[in-house]
A = this chain, B = another copy of it.
Amino acid sequence: MVETRGRLTIVGLGPGDPDWITPAARRALDEASDVVGYGPYVARIPDRPGLTKHASDNRVELDRSRHALTLAAQGRRVAVVSGGDPGVFAMAAAIFEAVEAGDPAWRALDIRVEPGISAMLAAAARLGAPLGGDFCALSLSDNLKPWDVVERRLRLALEADFAVCLYNPISKARPWQLGRAFEIVREVRAPEHLVALARAVGRPDEGLAIRSVAQVRAEEADMATLVIIGASTTRLIPRPGDARPWMLTPRSYGAGA
């Protein structure tokens, strides 16, 4: 008989700075018998006696999920590690998709999600308050949804004047999508409106750039970049010397401003 007393916790490691890992997430890692995840995330977890690490390649989320669930069903205490927050374009959806399609016994498992600091919140924190009004999070990846859905969502979000966070903006396998997205941005927003590129926030190779809609180029982004397209109300607060300006989307809008 399959043992269903195991536990599986999907743990948000945040964007990279260990000081952004919550005590609750840290405890889930400390209590785990097995850590499962994409190689670079698993590599962040220190070795210790009694802990088995299972690193896998990127883009095998469902295989990885089934493996983690199988371990939990054997009675192991499994931590599935995820960058940022597990619920935002990360492992939580993959795990529950695997549960839905998999062994019915998995539905009796104790499965929890430990939230983390998402990339968009970390990027916004570094920039000032670019998400101070209403905003969206949109993945530019067309691996799992048709590109016309991405374009339609982006266009409607811009028309609604949300600030828009673009996840998965560009990769070797998806080289043109961000350039196309910027074309749409240039159709809807004014040339002087703002776009921020926040790369690897919280890691040693962190980089931040603020551009106008007219200036911004897709080549400035890479896989580790979170792109924030400002709302029409988003603006800069200049600072003395060579300090980077703060980026602000005020809370007020329109007639109430």
Q: Please list the residues of chain A having a beta carbon within 8 angstroms of any beta carbon in chain B.
A: 14, 17-24, 27, 85-89, 92-97, 99-100, 107-108, 111-118, 121-122, 124-126, 128-139, 142-146, 149, 152-153, 156-157, 159-162, 237-240, 243, 246, 248-257
**What is the chain B residue whose CB lies nearest that of A113?**
B125
Query: B145 to A240, Cβ gap below 8 A?
Result: no
Give me the 10 closest cross-chain CB pairs, A-B, nearest first.
A93-B132, A145-B253, A113-B125, A156-B160, A92-B129, A19-B24, A93-B129, A87-B124, A115-B125, A136-B136
Query: A97 to B248, Cβ gap below 8 A?
Result: yes
Query: A252 to B145, Cβ gap below 8 A?
Result: yes
Residues of chain B contacted by A257 (CB below 8 angstroms): 144-145
Main secondary structure of the interface of A (DSSP, over half): mixed
**Given known A-B contacts A129-B93, A253-B145, A134 and B153 have beta carbons under 8 A apart:** yes
**Cα A134 to Cα B240 with chains together (Å):** 38
Most B C-beta atoms less than 10 A away, residue of A131, A143, A152, A257 = A131
Query: B118 to A121, Cβ gap below 8 A?
Result: yes
**Given known A-B contacts A144-B253, A160-B156, A125 and B248 have beta carbons under 8 A apart:** no
Known: A88-B131, A144-B256. 14 other contacts (CB 8 A): A20-B23, A20-B115, A85-B117, A87-B131, A92-B125, A96-B248, A97-B250, A108-B239, A108-B243, A111-B246, A113-B125, A116-B117, A134-B137, A136-B162
Residues of chain B contacted by A132 (CB below 8 angstroms): 87, 89, 92-93, 96
**Cα A142 to Cα B257 with chains together (Å):** 11
